[in-house]
């Protein structure tokens, strides 16, 4: 019989993936099984080991994937298989998270467990809305209350009189549906009708939205705004500080749903920059970067590096795949000691520098034509140039360098193939009008993005109301050729340049 495994009851935090604890992330990385909730960000799952079983048990507005008893039994079952189970719960497991009940079941089953606290939404959502829950000029008392009580039951377990008269700040969980019941009970028990109230939905995420008012008018305001669960309700005079302390909802791209089509392994920088400006990013990688079908041509070039005068890198991928193969064939960077180097773009140059080599040529503009212009200052007649890059790259560079008298060996270092991750969700959100912008970072992302769209649907209809942003003129030209209307083209052909162009577009539009 297998010995029991171990269970970690982990608080995933309030929604912003950056607010999980270091230990919580470690539990995800070491898990054999991850059992996660509706409010636990799916972004955490990318840290799970490949072998980890992932089980969704979310409960949303009465729609329960699995009952609490079923969840308890599942946790016990997986642990008894001798596996490490990470039970990932939104917020903190011991604050209205039913983590205490799950822990009791584990004790009864004799299964070892640990509790990893998380940042509760009761603190985080108000903080992201500009509301300090305590303040020396307003209050030093605070209470967390469930808002999920059945308003039809005769006896309430909540001491409304004490809350209304004795606590400075009240935070209600899961209370949107019962908001009329909550406000009525507070006013009936002596709380002033003009007491400020705020509701924060999807707090700490890029979907955050807030509604503010007073006890006597907040119900009507929430109804008019159409605000729904999951929301946190904050009652008390500290809510008035929101007008001066609001920081999160002032971000320029807040609420904009932006599709990132870049390969997943390269998308993080773009996603982070857009998210930091408030955008709600949907990662829909349309390309996957993979090795060439045959390493032989690149291996031959690596084995004869001493015969080359220059090596030109046109992308980060070109650098990474070249050095990967260099090392796999038994060489190190000393094999390039006599070669001069050229790079397209500062990020490619930084990647090369990561391998200990500084580029000799870095053109002002980050496209193949600019590399050609930079080489006009060099005497390359009779030189041998190695060009490791994508299989389907544009021919401009080898053609022009050959015309200048060089011998150019263009070698495939990697390929890009179509990816279909999140394709169904993408199509559904385009049809529903949920997408504000699609970003393209290369011609291949444009071509593969279009291939994901249903052929029977006219492109103008699918892209109606959707802004198209491109990293540079070559990508924009490809997009136009395929029938897209390009609204934003970066003047600096980098991820920061694209983000600057997107920001400028929305600032101009507003």
Q: Which residue is catalytic, options 6, 16, 32, 37?
A: 37
34 membership: H or E segment, kind and range: strand 33-36
Beta bridge partners of 312: 342
Q: Show the beta-strand stretches assigned E in 189-343.
A: 196-201, 209-214, 231-235, 257-260, 280-283, 287-290, 310-313, 340-343
CB 413 within 8 A of CB 298: yes
Q: Which residue has the tokens 């016990």?
A: 76
Q: What DSSP string runs through 364-397? A: SS-SHHHHHHHHTTS--TT-EEEEEEETT--SHH
Q: Which residue is catalytic, options 59, 80, 272, 431?
A: 59
Q: For residue 399, give both structure tokens.
A: 């053609």
177 tagged catalytic: no
Q: Roughly how many angstroms between the first and final C-alpha of the chain, as a whole number?
A: 66
78 tagged catalytic: no
Q: Which residue is catalytic, options 174, 187, 404, 462?
A: 174
CB 150 within 8 A of CB 128: no
174 tagged catalytic: yes
**CA 215 to each of CA 122, 155, 218, 223, 233: distance values in angstroms, whole numbers, following the listed order:** 19, 23, 6, 14, 11
**Nearest-angstrom CA–CA distance, 29 and 50:** 10
Q: Helix, strand or coil for residue 37?
A: coil
* 449 burial level (CB within 10 Å; 0-12, 13-18, 19+): buried
What is the sign, positive or negative, of the torsion defined by CA atoms of 390, 395, 398, 401?
A: negative
Q: What are phi and psi of 104, to 5 degrees?
A: -65, -40
**Nearest-angstrom CA–CA distance, 377 and 386:** 19
Cα 366 from chain centre:
27
**Nearest-angstrom CA–CA distance, 120 and 95:** 7
Please identify every residue annotated as catalytic: 37, 59, 174
């Amino acid at each position: 019989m297998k010995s029991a495994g171990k269970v970690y009851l982990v608080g995933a935090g309030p929604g912003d993936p950056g607010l999980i604890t270091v230990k919580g992330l470690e539990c995800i990385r070491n898990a054999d099984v991850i059992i996660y909730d509706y409010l636990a960000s799916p972004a955490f799952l990318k840290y799970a080991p490949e072998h980890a079983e992932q089980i969704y048990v979310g409960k949303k507005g009465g729609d329960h994937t699995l009952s609490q008893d079923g969840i308890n039994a599942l946790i016990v079952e997986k642990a008894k298989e001798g596996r490490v189970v990470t039970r990932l719960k939104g917020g903190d497991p011991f604050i209205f998270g039913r983590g205490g009940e799950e822990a009791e079941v584990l004790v009864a089953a004799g299964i070892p467990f640990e509790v990893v606290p998380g940042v509760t939404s009761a603190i985080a959502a108000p903080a992201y809305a500009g509301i300090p829950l305590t303040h020396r000029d307003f209050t030093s008392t605070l209470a967390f209350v469930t808002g999920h009580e059945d308003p039809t039951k005769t006896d309430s377990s909540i001491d409304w009189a004490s809350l209304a008269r004795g606590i400075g700040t009240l935070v209600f969980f899961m209370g949107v549906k019962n908001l009329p019941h909550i406000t009525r009970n507070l006013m009936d028990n002596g709380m002033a009708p003009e007491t400020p109230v705020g509701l924060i939905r999807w707090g700490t995420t890029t979907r955050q939205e807030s509604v503010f008012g007073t006890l006597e008018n907040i119900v009507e305001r929430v109804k008019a705004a159409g605000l729904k669960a999951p929301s946190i309700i904050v009652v008390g005079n500290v809510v008035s500080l929101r007008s001066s302390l609001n920081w999160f909802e002032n971000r320029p791209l807040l609420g904009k749903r932006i599709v990132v089509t870049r390969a997943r392994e390269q998308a993080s920088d773009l996603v982070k920059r857009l998210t930091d400006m408030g955008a709600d990013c949907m990662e829909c990688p349309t390309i996957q970067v993979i090795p060439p079908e045959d390493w032989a041509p690149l291996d031959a070039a690596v084995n004869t590096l001493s015969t080359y005068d220059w090596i030109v890198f046109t992308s980060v991928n070109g650098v990474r795949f070249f050095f990967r193969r260099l090392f796999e064939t038994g060489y190190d960077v000393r094999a390039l000691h006599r070669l001069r180097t050229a790079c397209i773009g500062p990020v490619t140059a930084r990647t090369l520098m990561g391998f200990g080599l500084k580029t000799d040529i870095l053109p002002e503009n980050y496209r193949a034509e600019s590399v050609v212009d930079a080489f006009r200052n060099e005497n390359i007649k009779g030189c041998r140039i190695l060009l490791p890059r994508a299989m389907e790259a544009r021919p401009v560079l080898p053609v022009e360098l050959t015309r200048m008298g060089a011998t150019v060996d263009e070698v495939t270092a990697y390929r890009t193939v179509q990816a279909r991750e999140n394709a169904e969700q993408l199509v559904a959100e385009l049809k529903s009008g949920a997408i504000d912008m699609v970003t393209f970072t290369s011609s291949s992302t444009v071509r593969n993005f279009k291939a994901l769209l249903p052929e029977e649907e006219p492109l103008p209809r699918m892209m109606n109301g959707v802004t198209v942003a491109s990293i540079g003129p070559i990508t924009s030209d490809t997009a136009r050729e395929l029938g897209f209307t390009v609204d934003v083209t970066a003047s600096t052909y980098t991820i920061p340049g694209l983000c600057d162009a997107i920001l400028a577009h929305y600032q101009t539009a507003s």
